[in-house]
Each structure stands twice: as C-alpha cells, then as structure tokens.
Copies of this chain bind each other. A is one copy, B any other.
C-alpha cells in the first residue's frame, strides 16, 4: 500500500470513498489530452493508436512494460539544429580556452580560422577540420571537468535567432510525446549522432531522460588516479561508437539490447534506426519530423523545393522511404499548434 497524504486521513474515511467513486466514473487520464500542442491530424492519431495498440492488455499487439522502448534522435527531432548543431557551437566557442592552454595552436589550422571569427572562412571548414576541433575540445580532460564546462557554457550561451539558451529550444509537442510515452510505461531514450557525454549533461533536466538512457556518439575513457591517489576517468580521442546511420541500430544493440517499438528522427542519419524499428513484429511506430515551417522555426530540404542542407539533411530519398515503409511524417507546420514552450 503506497503512502497516503495526511489531508485525506484528517478528512476521515468518507473522503476516500468519494475520491474513489469519482475516480472510477471518470478516470483522470481520460479527461486530459496528453498531446495538447498537437493538431488532431494523422500524426497525433497514429501516436495515440500506437500507444493503445501496445498498452491495452486486450490488444493482440500488447507489449509488456519491460519491453516498451522508444528512441528519439535529438538534433532536429527534439530541439532546433539550424543553423548549426549546438554541440558544434560549443566546440567553436571553446577554441579560445583550448588555445590559451596550448598557445602553439593559435598558428595552426583549423584553430587559426576559428580564432579569426571570419564567418565565410568558418563556413568552409571541412568535416576533417571539425573533427580536429571536436577532438581538441571534447577529449583529453576528466569526464567530471568536461561535464562542468558544458554546464557552464549552457548557462550563458544563446541561440543567435531566439536569444535564448539552447536548452529552451526544445519542441513542446515532442516534450509532450516523451511524457505521454513514459506515462504509458515506455522507457524513452535519446539516440543521437551528438556526443553522448555532452547530451548527458542536460538530458535529465531538459527531457527527463537520465544519463543511462542517452546513447550517442561515444569515445573511450581511461581510468587513472590523481595526485592524491583518487581514481578518475579521462575522455580519450578514441571513437567507440559513431552513432549515425547504421551506427544507430548498432548503438541501440550495444546500449539497450533490444529493438525499439517506436523511433523518432528527422534526417538521413536516422534512416536505419527508423527502418530497424519498423521491421520488428507487432505494432511499431517510426516517425520523422519535417522542418517545413520557415516562419515559426526553419524550412529545409528538397522536399520544400529548397537546396540541400548539410545540417539535418532530409533528401527526397527519405520521403520515398517513409511512404514505402509506412513511416509517418510529422509536419511542424500542420501538426503542431505550438512549437516552443516560450511562445
């Protein structure tokens, strides 16, 4: 028997009877819409139908609570990814500190370009340049020190368009979806191409997702001792898991060990996770967030008749796959009443 709060006890046993009677007539859950920021279109209907199909014991596709796994890409699926992934902003903004500790880097590319602040030169940095910057800013320090640095940065850094902390740029409808799935017995995971340790710093506060449920691109750590002989872990520049494309189902196997029943993504890096999820037996839900709302957020990708984008690429191919495999497209423009909590 769970503890009962004192006010009811003081009110005497009759209060219980009343409370119970009213609860049976109109269950609290049925009274409230778990997805108030969603318009009543095919996306919302698909979510509600999926939850019913997998949580109603009378359903032929009922899933026992312990197997209820839902995975979410982060960038572009749970929060804004344009004009650049937040973690890339972090890496670029950390460069001056890194150069301060190692002044010889100031004259070396790509650090020289980053320090110049020249936007045009910055936009031309290659993937290899970005990897060099990532290795210099994300590895070589104690895990705890890294967490502290990211936390400090998140408290002050602001998105250039909304002038708000990045952690406020999460999509309200997706936050509702996370809560709805959890209330329905699902364990919600982030499965991101972003850095696992980076996302862990804020995932619990921002999404209600604990560190152990964040799967991301992961580097190794090295166990060692400080001067006082206390053990600690150092972030190593050794890639264990590139959590993009085929790396997503591979990362899911490594970290979760079972196939999700629902998966949510928005770009080519999510394709394999979506098809792997949908290929499971019983009721499975694969959804893609389409960025088609230039006014309230962004609009990008060939599906909008716009030029291809490096960040959050969503080519025609993915549209065709979605149709073919029964993935459901979430139109930000049509399916979402509100996009941000601060609106």
Binding site for B on A (CB under 8 A): 1-2, 4, 9, 12-14, 16-17, 19-20, 23, 28, 66, 69, 143, 187, 196-197, 200, 204, 210-212, 214, 218, 220-223, 230-231, 233, 240-241, 246, 249-250, 253-258, 272, 275-276, 279
Q: Is the CB of A233 within 8 A of B250?
A: yes
A233 to B249, Cβ gap below 8 A? yes
Closest to A67 in B: B210
Q: Which residue of B lies closest to A211 (CB)?
A: B257
Q: Which 5 pairs from chain A and chain B are nearest by CB?
A: A211-B257, A223-B246, A13-B13, A13-B17, A212-B256
Please name all residues of chain B whose beta carbon is closer than 8 Å to the beta carbon of A222 when the two chains form the complex.
Answer: 246, 250
Q: Which residues of B contact A66 (CB under 8 A)?
A: 204, 210
- Among candidates B212, B223, B279, residue contacting A276 with C-beta atoms closer than 8 Å: B223
Copy total for this chain: 2
Assess whether A254 is in contact with B223, with CB atoms less than 8 Å apart: no
Which B residues are CB-close (under 8 A) to A143?
253
CA distance A218 to B9 in the complex (A): 52
A249 neighbours in B (Cβ, 8 Å): 223, 231, 233
